[in-house]
Every structure is written in structure tokens, then in C-alpha cells.
A = this chain, B = another copy of it.
Amino acid sequence: MQAHELATPYPTVTMDTNALEAARLLTEHGRPGLIVVDEHQHPIAILPGSQVLRMLVPRYVQDDPALARVLDESHADRMCDALADRTVRDLLPKERVKLPVVAPDDTVLEIAAIMAANRSPLVAVVEERSKTAALSGAISAAQLLGRILPVS
């Protein structure tokens, strides 16, 4: 079994995707993050859902979450205004979350080793063994385990 047989579609954004659209994609797909691709569809980073939330929380509340108590419910309703004029570029953390990339002919054991070494719940699968190849899908740790586990 090789990576290209295991890869499944995964929601992507570019650096220029509107932040509100990225938030909607996260919600629709129920994933912990989105894959950020460049203009050639090559995967370059993960946008974690927690970073989108970060943009919604005022700086003084980020520094002291207890201060959230003093803000009323109406603030929560306006939280998403902060996203409308931003893009994914603004949401990405300074320290980028690495997304390991595997080639289409990588084996189950190679994929498992790469996920374990990177402590990543996800790997991106690209179309060919090249540093600029386009994304063809992704494999999660849970999916990979499902293929390895003996049938009970």
C-alpha cells in the first residue's frame, strides 16, 4: 500500500484566502486545521483552527483569559468582524506549523515514521517526488492506523 492509495481530499486555502472564508471551511469540514498551498498548489503550511480563534480574541484577553468574563455576550456576536478584512497570511503563526509531505510511492511504514518523527496528526501527499509538486490529498494518523490494524 502506497501514499497515493491512502490519500483523501483535504480542504485547502492560499495565503490570500479571506479569513472569514477560512473559518467557514474549518467549520464545514470539522477539521483541526486547513492546508495552506502556494500558487502551484504545493502545500506550504498548516493553518490551525486555534490560530483563527486567536484573531477573534482581544490581545488583553489573550494575555489573561480571566478578563473574558468582563466582556458581555454582545462582544461574542461581534468577534467575527475581526476576520472580514484579514487573509490567511494574517492568521498564520510566526512559527509556522510544519506539515510533513510524502511522495505518492511512499509506503505505510514510511508514512508512519514521518508522522511519528514530526508528531503530526496529518501528512500531505503530493503528485510526484518533487519539492514543488501539487497537493493530491492528505492522510491522517487515524486513517493510517485503520489500514494497519488487524481486522478484529
Contact = CB atoms under 8 A, between A and B. Distances in A.
Given A27-B145, A50-B121, A142-B31, A62 B107 contact: no
Contact of A145 (B53, B109, B117, B142): B53
Please report whether the interface of chain A is mostly helix, strand, loop or mixed according to DSSP.
helix
Nearest to A118: B50
Interface residues of A, number: 58
A142 B29 contact: yes
Given A32-B121, A49-B121, A75-B109, 12 more contacts: A1-B73, A23-B149, A49-B115, A49-B142, A50-B119, A50-B141, A53-B115, A53-B144, A57-B109, A57-B113, A62-B117, A65-B117
